[in-house]
Amino acid sequence: MSTAGWVDLDGVANMRDLGGLPTTDGGRIARHRLLRSDNLQDLTDRDISHLVDEVGVTDVVDLRSDVELRIEGPGPLQVRGLARHHHHSLFRDDLYTVTAEDSLVLPWSTKVGGDAPPEVKRDDDHWASHYLGYLADRPDSVLAALEVVAGSAGATIVHCAAGKDRTGTVTGIALSVAGVADEDVVADYVASAERVERVVARLRARPAYSDALRDQPMEHQVPKPLTMVRILTVLREQHGGASGWLRDHGWAESDVHALRARLRA
């Protein structure tokens, strides 16, 4: 079970406020700073009121691909202008022109993931390869997403489709930078397993995902601890940790400090 709090709304299945997670120096992640979620297409009026008026959401980081956005359309927070929308796809193909068939490749397809570092490609963990592929293919999007979190005036929701893979990659880095211990980052990542059946049921009803999920076994969607363990291990071995990855990709120490300070209570 995760130590972060579920946000139970009618229109999402996998939203959590990461506030409350402990840091290694005795601190805590602040509430109402960083939320992670599955897609926001089905938010109700009551959901929106809670997020905007009570949680104080001002920014949404949308990690879905260009084609997902085109098929699904904007979410209600964006349509109503109630939060700033920041679209930062983690797919390399979104940098180029792709065919309609190519553009429907989704995160759980065996075709995605890009060029992960060779030490992970030799590994048997399918998802760790994908997640490090996001970092290798679209560091610009990962950095931009974290810049939104660091600079937001209120709470930021980071989401993709299911709220576990692409979202887990970005929020895992953010939590690690803020000083959350690896075991707690892993625990938050695997917490999505508690809601995975509800998540998949939602996606099967959405036009962008119904066909791709029709024959997918549920067990393929369950996040496993070893995946995030390997992500954090590679970041530490190759960059000295998540903060080092940010520095190696152009962030100044002041930028790293700003993200850490924004997230901590």
Q: Residue ranges per domain, the chain?
A: 5-260
Looking up tokens 């109700």, which residue turns up?
44
- For residue 3, CA distances in Å to 22, 185, 209, 247 come to 9, 10, 30, 29
Sequence-ordered alpha helix ranges (H) in 21-125: 45-49, 66-72, 76-79, 100-103, 118-121
Higher pLDDT, 184 or 213: 184
Mean pLDDT confidence for 222-245: 95
pLDDT for 161 beyond 80: yes
pLDDT at 180: 98
pLDDT at 17: 98
pLDDT for 124 beyond 80: no
pLDDT for 121 beyond 90: no
Higher pLDDT, 120 or 202: 202
pLDDT for 117 beyond 50: no
Sequence-ordered alpha helix ranges (H) in the chain: 45-49, 66-72, 76-79, 100-103, 118-121, 126-137, 139-151, 166-177, 182-190, 196-204, 210-213, 225-239, 242-248, 253-263
pLDDT for 120 beyond 50: no
Tell me the CA end-to-end span of the chain in Å, nearest whole number. Answer: 22
pLDDT at 106: 53
Contact indicator for 188, 2 with CB cutoff of 8 Å: yes
* Backbone CA torsion sign across 135, 141, 146, 149: negative
For residues 75 and 69, give the distance between their C-alpha atoms in angstroms, rounded to a whole number: 9
Closest CA to 199 of 182, 184, 216: 216
Looking up tokens 């930021």, which residue turns up?
156
pLDDT for 39 beyond 60: yes
For residues 178 and 173, give the distance between their C-alpha atoms in angstroms, rounded to a whole number: 9
Q: How many helices (H) and strands (E) does the chain have?
A: 14, 6
For residues 65 and 138, give the distance between their C-alpha atoms in angstroms, rounded to a whole number: 12
Which residues 6+ apart lie within 8 Å of 105 measured at CB? Answer: 93, 111, 112
pLDDT at 214: 78
pLDDT for 99 beyond 80: no
Q: For residue 129, what is the DSSP state?
A: H
Contact indicator for 156, 162 with CB cutoff of 8 Å: no
CATH 3.40.50.720 given to domain 5-260: no
Contact indicator for 19, 51 with CB cutoff of 8 Å: no
